[in-house]
Amino acid sequence: MGAQNISVSITINISSEMSLTEVSSNRSFNGYQKVYEHKSEVLKCQMKFGAYIPDEHDSALPVLIYLSGLTCTEANFIDKSGFQRFASEEKVIVINPDTSPRGIKIDGDDESYDFGTGAGFYLNATEPKWSEHYRMYSYVVEELYKLMFANFKVDANRVGIFGHSMGGHGALVLGLRNPNLFRSISAFAPICNPTNCPWGHKVFQGYLGSVEAGSQYDATEIAKNYDGPERNVLLDQGLDDQFLKEQLHPENLLTVKNPKIKFDYRSRPKYNHSYFYIATFIGEHFKFHVDSWK
């Protein structure tokens, strides 16, 4: 089932606070891999994100937002996935943010890899200790989204989102909750049902006060009630993934029967959870998104 030609009307209000500082710029595959820094009004700290920009173009280009997993910064995807070749070939701008607020200090934020620093989980925290800064959901769909339009020549009708692990969870949740913003969705080894896994239990209890409150950020629960435009969703999973059985649970998401969502599930024998796996299949994801925009 091909994507429908849906005209998206988006009002982008640009403020004077949306300026960027270029941190680095490297020539790569007929384009530039850049890293920018800016003051985030949502997270109340300085944030970095990567932006791959194909060479000069006359018309607005499609854009993909990539969300990384636990412990990552914006650098992991830039340095390890090899995506730039495909972004250049397909003429797609790629934006990839950091995974959590940086440069702040909250007691306990560095005690474990799966909570706090590097583990924003793409939600808006409600517990007072975390709620001022840990608002990665709003950061991506509001602030970062507007930054794209303020600084790059982006086609609002061809915007997709994808990610890996915690970032795959984020891509599914943000994509399904905001179909007016994201035309296409894919995920590598996503946390598909976080209200039913240890990672999800820990972050929902810590950031939101209860596991039950996390259902609004659970792709399996969101898919059950999804009532937006028809969507194809690419789910990509390595079968030798060390987190597959305990944490990821793609089988729970795949059992959801919603006529408005069609899952393209691609299982990869012998592949694990690493960026070697992502680099192997990243080209298929670009093709999926480009085809979805037609």
Catalytically active residues, by annotation: 165, 241, 273
Contacts of 51 (CB under 8 A, 6+ apart): 33, 34, 35, 36, 93, 94, 95, 96, 152
Whether residue 279 contacts residue 81, with contact meaning beta carbons closer than 8 Å, is answered with yes
115 secondary structure, DSSP code = B
Contacts of 58 (CB under 8 A, 6+ apart): none
Q: Which of 72, 73, 94 is nearest to 28 (CA)?
A: 94
Give 197: exposed, middle or buried? Use CB within 10 Å, 0-12, 13-18, 19+.
Answer: buried
Dihedral through CA 124, CA 205, CA 100, CA 67, nearest 10?
-80
Q: Which of 228, 233, 102 is nearest to 168 (CA)?
A: 233
